[in-house]
Amino acid sequence: MEYLLDTHSFLWFVYGDSQLSGKARDVIASRDEARYVSTVSFWEIAIKTAIGKLKLAMSFQELGQQLDFYGFKILPITFEHTFELSFLELHHRDPFDRILIAQALLDHLTIVSKDMNFSKYKDLQVVW
């Protein structure tokens, strides 16, 4: 199985935050399967830090270096992802989460997320 980390899952893992479930931590820490962080997560982090809605415990650059350190792959946003997005039902209105959902569905990835709204999407696999 391959996994796509929701933004909070990525941050909580890197920071060692206790809000991350044990199951999610095990999945993210395992190097047996591919684990992806979407470009949209870094976009979300950049916007939220710029407007003061999020404070980082390390620099943005250091956060990006965590990808290599933990063996995460970056998942770019493609035209196909945005096309998939155009068909999503509006169970979730957060634009960052909606592109994560579209990416996971199109690329057959399981999302690692605490967000219960994700479970409203048919065929979307979520682990927490």
Which residue bears the tokens 């048919």? 122
The residue ranking higher by pLDDT, 76 or 122, is 76
Strand partners, 19: none
Q: List domains and CATH numbers for the chain.
A: 9-127 (3.40.50.1010)
Output the pTM of the full model: 0.92
| Helix/strand/coil for 112 | strand
**CA–CA gap between residue 111 and residue 88 (Å, rounded):** 16
| Helix/strand/coil for 19 | coil
pLDDT digits (tens, 9 = 90+) for 32-90: 999 999 999 999 999 999 999 999 999 999 999 999 999 999 999 999 999 998 998 87
Exposed, middle or buried: residue 83 (CB in 10 Å: 0-12, 13-18, 19+)? exposed
